[in-house]
Every structure is written in structure tokens, then in C-alpha cells.
Structure 1
Amino acid sequence: MKNKYSTLCYQFKQLLNTTLCCTALGMSSASLASTHSLLIAVDGLRGDGIENANTPHLDTLINGTWAAGYKAAFAHYAQTMTDAAPNSGPNHVGIMTGVTAKKSGVTGNGNVAGGNYSTYPHYLTLLEQSNSSLNTAYLVTWGTDMQITNTADLKIDANDAVNTQNAVNIIKGTYSASNWPQGTDIDALFIFLDDVDGAGHACCFTASDDGYVNEINDVDSQIGQLLAAIKARPNFTHEDWQIVVTSDHGGRGSSHGIHAADNYTIPFLVTSKVAKQGYLSGIPRNYDAAPTVLAHHGLAVPANMDGTVQGQNIRQENDKGIDHGLTTYLPFNSNYEDASGNHTHAQVGGGSPELRANGKFGTYVKINGKKEHLTLGKPSELDFGTDTDFTLMTWYRVSGDQVGDPVIVGNKNWVSGANRGTLLLANEGNGDDFGINIASSRSDRKDIDPIDYTFNGWWLLVASFDRQGVATLYAGSPSGELNIIAGDISNVGDINSELDWNIGQDGTGRYHYNLKADLDDFAVWRRAITLSEVRAIYNNGHGSELLSLMNASH
């Protein structure tokens, strides 16, 4: 209908329909909320991209302070699909259709046009099929996306800046085209922004690259323009908006497409009046976007979709202090005693590690790479079994590359990563990369890596394990960048190896590669600590001693 009426007739029809509906219900037109959605996909935005950029507009969405009545569920550890390489083609299709490559048939950038869009339609197509009077717009900045079949009323392929302005005009009602009369009111708007991916390819998908971070700053500014346009709508207070933000992939170096955590880890955000405030539970995926938007518009999610509706299920927030669930805390203040109150003290397990002055906080332990290590033994507090959440933390410093792949802390026999147990590793790449390994058997082994690190400065390492969701590795650099990667560990079983928990060695205490590093403020929790808590410990690279945070919370 919207293509058959002049602007004046169209506006009159919209007003008449609203008035008749409200009269029938005994309501004023101002009291009738109208449903609108904005899905923003940012190409190449890593899960830690927002964390390390200047993003005031995204921050207001994430913090639930954007507008009265709106809350946000957020994940910086969301994941791409894993049945195709983390490239744009399959993941763009997944974001729009809610299915992975196995169903869509799109496995790369070269076969996007051949996707099975009849069986697994674009979410805008499903909205149009449910109600052809809905006004839907599809704005993309990568020409290949025009090959994804959909029946949106308006389709535009332009660059980021042009499409941002197009979207602003659409939201304001000032955009016009042959099939989009000026004054048309948008119901569902999709926009893909591409320049972050371009910046990553130009140098590096990393928080330490100014070009990449600056482009994220620019995208935040563009998103800010969209948010301002929404809030400036005359009836905004009576409207029911949903805003979803996600990405298609992360990256490593100047590329992506590698089956690894740094390529899989992306953000996912849903803001609405019914969303719950907090961190999303489980394993949010970028292909959750389509069902999430459909549900907002009141549609039943097709049973054949792989994605799930996000926004209601969030992690329980810790309001009991940073030491809640703390089971081991070794501040290394001239000894190896546990300051958590649980008496899980460390002992020298081999060699002669040294306690030295001038650590990150007071004294620290120096492990010299000559078979030195500490052992915590096998206390019940460190038995995490099949479903107990937990977190490992330490400050770490080295002066050069590691030899081999030594262990920072762990309880498995590292002769094979398929052995039962968990490890936080000092080299998962070329001598200077952090990583996590966890498994109960060969079939559920998970490797979450790498994060590259620098020498001669203190790095914060936190490995947080949500046993029904993801393991998240945080690595805070001395210069203020908080690197974040994550991976699905929901199917990992019993990780109690019956070996010791050792610091500087694997669970056997005899692994042939020995750690050579300085460690300070080591801790273990029987819960998965959150980004907010990691931020407090990291303190923008300055660091906060855990003991001081514990005292401040009581």
C-alpha cells in the first residue's frame, strides 16, 4: 500500500488507522505505543573493541542510561557461528536469517547469492510477510549484502557516512525516494557499517592500533546520530523501540577467518523497555539478532532458526563484594600464605622461587625457568568438577619470550591438551601469547587463544569460566588496553584431574618447559567474575591490589 499512495494520502492513512484503533480501544493516540526496531551490525568489531575505544553513545545503551524506561543486556564475549570460517558472508547471512552456515548454505563470501533464503528468510522478509503494511529498510555498505534475498521496502547500498545520514533521515521521516514517500514512518531498520573492518585490514584488529580504535570511535559517533534521531521523534515517549548491536567477526593481525577465539569473539547488545539490565547469560551468538528482533515485533520465532531471543536471561550480579567466592588469595607479601581465610596456602613444589621487593604490589614471586614452581595441592576448594564456575587471576611480567609453552597455573598433564584439567598458559603462539586450555576429554577440548603481550611491564591476567557458557580471557596491558577473547565451554565435563594445582608448572610438576616470569597478587574464585570486577582490579592499567578492594567493600 505504501507504494501506491502519495505522501499526503499515506500520512492520512496512517493517522486514520491509528485514530480508529485508539477510538475502538478507548485510548488516546498518544497512549498507544508503536513498535520499532533498529538492528546495527558493525563489520569486524571485536568483543573488546567497545571496551578500548571512546564510545559514549554505546556506553549509554550498555549502561541502561540512554532513555527513561530502557535497559540493556550486553555481552562482550558473544560468539560468531563456528560451522563456517569467521568471515563476512556466512555471518552477515546468519545475523539476518538467524541460522548458521549448515542451514543457509553460505560458507564464504563467494556463495552469498546462493543462500537458502526460501527456507530461511531474511528477518525483514518475515516481518513483511506477517504484515505488508510495515515499513522496512535495508541499508548496507558492502555490495555483496545486496545478494541476500529480502523483501524490504527500501534497499540502499552506500558507504558508512552516507547510509548513516540516510538512516537518520529515515528515522526523522525526511528521507524520500520513488518507493519511499517523505514522511513514511519506519518500523524496522537494518544498517550494516563496514569501516571498522576496513581499519582492521589496514593494520590490525587490536586495541593497540590507533586506526582500528579511532574507527570504532567514529562508528560510535554515527550510532549517536541514530540514537539522537530516535529520541527527537515527536512521539518517542510513546514508542516502543528495540536496538540491537552486534558484529560478524573479530580478527587477528590484519585478517580474520581463522577458527580461533580472537576471530570468534564479538559484542552483542539488546536495548529495549523489556530487556533486563546486565550481562547476557549462556552463549550469545550474532545469529540471535534476527529472532530477537522478530520477538520484539510480536512474531513467533520460526522453529527452524538456530538463534535464540536475547534480552531476558542475564547473569546474576554479585553484590556481596569482590571477595565473594574467593577461595585462594596469594598476595606474596613476603610469604606464600593464603589471605582469603580458607588456608589454601602455597608451598614450594620445586626449585627455588624467589620472593623479591618492588612487585606490582609490594613483594612478588620470581620464577626463573629452572624447574621452580609453587603448588596448592588438591584442596576441595579447587575441585570445580563438571559445573562449578571459577576464575583464575594473577599479575604477570616477563623480560623476553618464553621457551616452549609453559604453564602459569593449572592442574592437568600438559603432555596433551586433551588430558583432563585446566591451564592458563604463557605461550600459545610465538613466545609471547596468553591462552587457556580446558578439557575433560579429547572430545570436548577447548583452546581459547591467543592474546599477544609485551615485555617489561605488569599484565593483568583473568580467566573467568562460566561452565554453562563461555570461558573469557582478559589480558590488561601496562599501557591501558584490556584485551578480551572468549570461547564456548558449555559441553566441557569434569575437569578434576586428580593432579595438583601448580603455579609455574602443569599438574604433574614435571612438564619439560618451565615458566620464566614474575607473578603477583594471585587469586582463585569459585565463581565467574564479571567485566565490572575485572575493570576494578585492572584500574586502567594502574592496578588495584585485591586486598585493598576487599577492604573497601566491607
Structure 2
Amino acid sequence: MRLTVLLTLVLTSSLFAHGPGKENDFAGRRVLFIGIDGCRADALVAAMERGLAPQLKTLSESERGLLTRQFYAGGEKDTPTHQPTISGPGWSSLLTGVWMDKHGVRDNRFIGGRFQSHAHFMRHIKEAKPTAFCASFADWPPIHDFIADGSRVNSQEFLDVKFTCAPDAARHFVDNPEKDIEIRDEALKTLHTQNPDSMFVYFGQVDEFGHGAIDSRASFSPDSTLYLNAISHVDSHVGELLRAMRARPKFAEEDWLVLITTDHGGKGNGHGGDSDNERNIWLIAHGQKLPKDKLMKEPTPQTALVPMIYEHLGIP
């Protein structure tokens, strides 16, 4: 098994000024953003109803939580924002807060990306608070190679932890579930040993099962047991991250905004079009001051997450 891992730790004296509880740049406010690639909305609901996603179900049904299916990908039809429901444009929109007409990404090649002018949200966190601690974990390398690295100014790294775990192309992504475990373990390490202000954790196996890349019998469908099992595997990783967050020494003093979503849905073994199953996605959120009525009742674009993060942290 060939493994490409990039782990960057920027250790400066300012890092050690960070502490648990309210001892951070944002008076205890912190963000955990979890991305589950290619997780179709009705399949997520089916997994929750069948007891296969208990962690996501519990979080969404808690007093401060919600699950909305009013969330959507793909931009606005018949406008310059209209974009394909594929990962390159999707994650670019989720991580920058703008559609394709601004970030410039039309497909998974990232040609024409404009991340200098429409940057990864963590770069703006660092610009607002240079001592903020930002961490990102992904087993789809373009998230770091193009979106994060493309956002750097004068090659200056803004991520304090950047962990990239690349599935072996020779195995046609069959080892993606193993890579998700490595992503989980590195993210857990940061929650246990550091004091992150903002974390992004990406899991890729659900999308690969939908494509049939891991098992040809699977598809993007609530009727695919293999696809639902992949959602269940990621649900267990989410549960471990949430437990680690809650086990922090001064968690009671911390104000965490948890956001969990996907970049697109799918149908059959593909995605990229404008069908409801590809465009209509979901958001699970948990926090003290969520705009619940708006999120539950009004169609909300996936570009809305970055402004929610800035508002939570108090960044203009």
C-alpha cells in the first residue's frame, strides 16, 4: 500500500499562548466543520432512520442541533453562479463561501481557480487573528493542493496543521475507508493535544461507494445497503470526534459551532447534473445561536456556511 501523507505543524511561540476554555482569540468560540463527500440527502435520512447513523441523528435532534434538507448545491440555475454538482466546484464553494462565478473552479482540474481573491475561509481567520489555530484534514488531496495552497499569499502557510492522506490510485480508491480512519485519528490527535479555533475534517469514502469505485454493487441511493454502510462508517468517525471535543478539559467554557454537510448528492453511480438528488443536499448544525427558523424553512445555499463561521467567531 502506497501512502502519501503531508503533515505540516507550524510551531511558534504564539501557539503556546492558546489554551482551552475561553483562553483563545475568540473568547472560547470555536468551529468544527466536517465534510462527508457525496452523501445524498435521502440516503442520510434512511441511514439515520435505520439506526446506521446514530451519532448524526443524536446531534441533529439535540436541543441545540438541527438537520435541514433546505440546503442546496450547484448555484442558481440560469445565472453565472450555476455550477456542476461535482467535488471541485462544491468544496471550493463550501470553503470559500462563493459560487463558481467568483472562485472560478468548473471541474476537478481546478483550472482557472481564483483563490487569491476568493480564499479559503481559514486564511481570512488568520488575517483577522494571526495567532488563531487552524487545522485541516483531508483524504482528497485537491482540497489542500488547490483550495488551501492556492489561497496562500507569498507562499505563507495559514494552516497550523495540514494533514493530507492520499488514497493509492493503483488500488482505485479501494483503500479510501482506511484513509478515512487515518484522517479521523489525526483530527483526534489535534483535539486531544492542541486548542484549535477552527477545524475542517473531510471524509471521502461515501462518495467512492456511490461511484461503485470500492464495490461495483453500490450506488448513490437510499436503497443501496453498501452506500448506507459507508455513511454508517463515517458516522462512527463523527461520533469519536464529538466525544473528543466534549472531553476537552474546559469544554464547558467553550462555545463550539459544529457544521456537517456534503458537497453534492448523486444518482446511479454519478453526479454533476441538476437533478434534485444531486442539488438538494443537507446540513447538520449544532450551536448556541443557530438561525434555526431560517435554516429549517428557507432554501439555503452551501455558500452560507462560511458567513455562519465568521459570524460565530465574530469576524467581519
Give the TM-score normalised by the residue count of structure 1: 0.46
Matches of 2:38 and 2:261, distance apart in 1: 10
Q: Is the 8 A contact 1:92 1:145 kept in 2?
A: yes
Aligned to 2:32: 38
| Match 1:188 to one of 192, 198, 201 | 198
Match runs of 1:299-448 below 5 Å: 299-300=315-316
Q: Which amino acid aligns with 1:162?
A: E
| Match 2:230 to one of 215, 224, 245 | 215
Q: Is the 8 A contact 1:268 1:284 kept in 2?
A: no
Q: Which amino acid aligns with 1:154?
A: V
Post-superposition Cα deviations, 1:371-397, rounded to whole Å, max 9, x if no partner, equal xxxxxxxxxxxxxxxxxxxxxxxxxxx
Aligned to 1:76: 69
Going from structure 1 to structure 2, the CA distance change for 1:115 and 1:253 (only over 3 Å counts) comes to same
Q: Is the 8 A contact 1:33 1:238 kept in 2?
A: no
| Match 1:274 to one of 285, 289, 305 | 289
Structure with greater helix share of residues: 2
Q: Which amino acid aligns with 2:275?
A: A
Going from structure 1 to structure 2, the CA distance change for 1:86 and 1:129 (only over 3 Å counts) comes to same
Post-superposition Cα deviations, 1:340-396, rounded to whole Å, max 9, x if no partner, equal xxxxxxxxxxxxxxxxxxxxxxxxxxxxxxxxxxxxxxxxxxxxxxxxxxxxxxxxx
**1:48 shift after superposition:** 1.3
Match runs of 1:99-178 below 5 Å: 99-110=98-109, 112=110, 114-146=112-144, 147-148=146-147, 149-150=150-151, 151-158=158-165, 159-173=179-193
Q: Is the 8 A contact 1:73 1:276 kept in 2?
A: no
Q: Which amino acid aligns with 2:85?
A: P
Aligned to 1:89: 88
Q: Which amino acid aligns with 1:103?
A: K
Going from structure 1 to structure 2, the CA distance change for 1:113 and 1:222 (only over 3 Å counts) comes to farther
Aligned to 2:242: 227
Post-superposition Cα deviations, 1:311-345, rounded to whole Å, max 9, x if no partner, equal xxxxxxxxxxxxxxxxxxxxxxxxxxxxxxxxxxx
Q: Is the 8 A contact 2:15 2:133 kept in 1?
A: no
Aligned to 1:98: 97
Q: Is the 8 A contact 1:81 1:287 kept in 2?
A: no
Aligned to 1:3: 11
| Match 1:247 to one of 250, 253, 262 | 262
Matches of 1:43 and 1:121, distance apart in 2: 21
Aligned to 2:176: none
Secondary structure at the counterpart of residue 251 of structure 1: coil
**1:277 shift after superposition:** 5.0
Q: Which amino acid aligns with 1:3?
A: L
Secondary structure at the counterpart of residue 84 of structure 1: coil
Q: Is the 8 A contact 2:15 2:131 kept in 1?
A: no
Q: Which amino acid aligns with 1:166?
A: E
Secondary structure at the counterpart of residue 254 of structure 1: coil
Aligned to 2:79: none
Matches of 2:111 and 2:203, distance apart in 1: 20
Post-superposition Cα deviations, 1:86-142, rounded to whole Å, max 9, x if no partner, equal 0000011000000001111101111x2631112211100000000110000111111
Q: Which runs of at least 4 in structure 1 moved beyond 3 Å after TM superposition?
A: 276-279
Secondary structure at the counterpart of residue 116 of structure 2: coil
Q: Which amino acid aligns with 1:218?
A: H
Q: Mark the structure with the bigger radius of gyration.
A: 1
User: In the alignment, is residue 294 of structure 1 matched against residue 288 of structure 2?
Assistant: no
**1:3 shift after superposition:** 2.6
Going from structure 1 to structure 2, the CA distance change for 1:113 and 1:234 (only over 3 Å counts) comes to farther
**1:45 shift after superposition:** 0.7
Going from structure 1 to structure 2, the CA distance change for 1:87 and 1:10 (only over 3 Å counts) comes to closer
Matches of 1:49 and 1:294, distance apart in 2: 30
Q: Is the 8 A contact 1:136 1:189 kept in 2?
A: yes
Which runs of no fewer than 5 residues in structure 2 stay unpaired? 1-9, 76-81, 152-157, 166-178, 213-217
Matches of 1:185 and 1:283, distance apart in 2: 34
Going from structure 1 to structure 2, the CA distance change for 1:49 and 1:276 (only over 3 Å counts) comes to same
Matches of 1:188 and 1:49, distance apart in 2: 28
Matches of 2:111 and 2:140, distance apart in 1: 13
Q: Which of 1 and 2 has higher RCO (CA within 8 Å, sep 6+)?
A: 2
Equivalent residues, number: 267
Structure with greater strand share of residues: 1
User: In the alignment, is residue 284 of structure 1 matched against residue 282 of structure 2?
Assistant: no
Post-superposition Cα deviations, 1:528-554, rounded to whole Å, max 9, x if no partner, equal xxxxxxxxxxxxxxxxxxxxxxxxxxx
Identity of aligned residues (%): 26
Q: Is the 8 A contact 1:64 1:277 kept in 2?
A: no
Post-superposition Cα deviations, 1:412-462, rounded to whole Å, max 9, x if no partner, equal xxxxxxxxxxxxxxxxxxxxxxxxxxxxxxxxxxxxxxxxxxxxxxxxxxx
User: In the alignment, is residue 200 of structure 1 matched against residue 200 of structure 2?
Assistant: no
Matches of 2:104 and 2:27, distance apart in 1: 39
Q: Which amino acid aligns with 1:283?
A: P
